[in-house]
Amino acid sequence: MAAIYFSLCVILGIASTINGRPRTEDERVMIDEFLPALLDRLQNNPEYAFLLDSDSPPRSNRQQNSPVQQQENWPQNNLKLGQVAGVAVDNNGDVLVFHRGDRAWGARSFDYNNELSQVEQNKGPIRNATILRLNKNGTVIQRLGANRFFMPHGLTVDKKGNLWVTDVGLHQVIKIPVDPTDAGLVLGEAMKPGSDNEHFCKPTDVAVASNGHFFVSDGYCNGRIMKFTKDGMLIKTWGKPTNNPVEFSADDELFIPHSITLIEESNLVAVADREHGRIQLFTAGITDPNDTGRFVKSISNSRFGKVFAISYDPTDKMLYVVNGPTGSNKVEGFTVDLDGKIRDTWTPRNMNFDEPHDVAVSPDGHQVYVAEIRPNRITKFNK
């Protein structure tokens, strides 16, 4: 206990001395790297419970206590992936993976106008297959998307098996039909970001309703949600971009809407407001098209940090959430009810998440998949 108490005193001392000035690199490393481990030790040991906020929910991310358990030796050990940006599961239980091959999103990938840099454009589209279909055993059974994409991001599969992807380099939303007679759909002008009704700017994700209407989170620049008919006609746009802290942001001001999922039985669309660390719920207009985009409620918790991805499971009426590295918050998965209570937390067995980027729940509710961009991997959990 003495070691824990001393460590807390050191960190709190540093925090007090840096108030009003930037942290030095040594201070940043100490706080951002050492504090998460310390807090995890505190929160997982009842001996130190008196040091914690009594309102903080208990941690249950230890694998032996969580109903969400990693399936080991999945997928194939020889599966080579780039940054895994998106993951989805179809009605057959097949897993779709959207990865970036030999490309990586870095500080120089885009210019100040949010256009893909000329260096990246000159590389041409990614040559290898960016979409992989895996069966439940983790064996690749189909490869798609070679020589087509520049910077893959979101991936969704609808109830008919059509794939919907976003490419932040192309600034496009693309439907890849399962039916070869379907012409598919491409929205947005290739390589041209914009904020009008015909353009996107780094769109992040798509959610498709049972009636074919779909929602796009758009995204890194525009901070908005767009709803379309199944044929791609715009129905409604809402949301405003901001980089203000969440305390100074309105309910419809979004700081990178990074992931989107539907809660159809409640007529809701849920948006991962990434940098604000919250999940914003709006009316989806499924039962009443005139009631679309109205703010309903916000789900937030100090343990989230940044909310990178969300997926709703109608079988247990839970949201499955992954956060990302934020310094003081442990990177983990959360099971959250619609009242905003954390019901469970989970991580891979014998290791941690590093940089989760997407999460998907199988239609039968039995599996959860997490995609990461560092290390480049896909992890399967059973529940």
H or E element, residue 203: strand 203-208
99 marked ligand binding residue = no
Q: Is the pLDDT of residue 49 over 80?
A: no
Q: What is the mean pLDDT of residues 80-105?
A: 98
DSSP 8-state symbol, 256: -
103 pLDDT band, cuts 50/70/90, is very high
Q: What is the mean pLDDT of the chain?
A: 88
11 pLDDT band, cuts 50/70/90, is very low
Predicted model pTM: 0.84
Residue 78, pLDDT score: 81
100 marked ligand binding residue = yes
Q: Is the pLDDT of residue 1 over 60?
A: no
76 pLDDT band, cuts 50/70/90, is confident
The length of the chain, given as a count of residues: 383
State how far the Cα of 364 lies from the Cα of 65, in Å rounded to an integer: 22
Q: Are 377 and 81 in contact (CB under 8 A)?
A: yes
Pick from 273, 344, 265, 350: nearest CA to 307 = 273
23 marked ligand binding residue = no
H or E element, residue 11: helix 2-17
Q: Are 75 and 111 in contact (CB under 8 A)?
A: no
Q: Is the pLDDT of residue 324 over 60?
A: yes
DSSP 8-state symbol, 23: P
357 marked ligand binding residue = yes
pLDDT above 90: percentage of residues in the chain? 78
Q: Are 324 and 308 in contact (CB under 8 A)?
A: yes
199 marked ligand binding residue = no
274 marked ligand binding residue = yes
Neighbours of 240 (CB within 10 A): 12
